Amino acid sequence: MKKVLVLGMAFALSGCAIYDAITMAKFDNHEYAMVNDIRSTVVVARPHCGTSEEKPMVQQLYVQSLTLKNYSQYIPKNDPTIKMTSELHEIVQGLHNKYQGQESVSAAYCNLKLNLIEKNAEVMQRSIGGKPR
């Protein structure tokens, strides 16, 4: 009786994993590459925080995050990624808005925002990279 119960539980648990794999969007290397581009831009931009050279890099981050958000928006079965891309874009948009009408913002604010963007992008890469192929 115990063997039947254990086998039944094992089958039920593996069934959940199979269901998740079927209902989840597949790995998208373009989506993954776009998140990587955002992380890379942050790394390049960070040394320029507090300078006038930062503004064009923030503009580039804004376009990259908007492109990622728009790209992932209508991929079927992609709800978790859609939510993450929207949240990442909101963070980038906050930094972008701060630069509107100003040549530069404080280096501390810039670094905090860029660190937050990088950490979120890293989490997204792990999530997108972990999708079934």
Q: What b-and-e string marks burial along 43-61, b requiring 16 or more CB atoms within 10 Å of the CB?
A: eebbebbeeeebbebbeeb
18 is written with which tokens? 């199979």
Q: What is the pLDDT of residues 84-118, one digit of tens each?
A: 999 999 999 999 999 897 777 899 999 999 999 99
Q: What is the pLDDT of residues 69-83, one digit of tens each?
A: 999 999 999 999 999
Using DSSP, state whether 49 is helix, strand or coil: coil
112 is written with which tokens? 């905090």
What residues does each domain of the chain span? 27-129
Which residue type, as a one-letter code, is found at position 108? A
Which residue type, as a one-letter code, is found at position 101? G
How many Å apart are CA 83 and CA 87, to the nearest integer?
6
pTM of the entire predicted model: 0.79
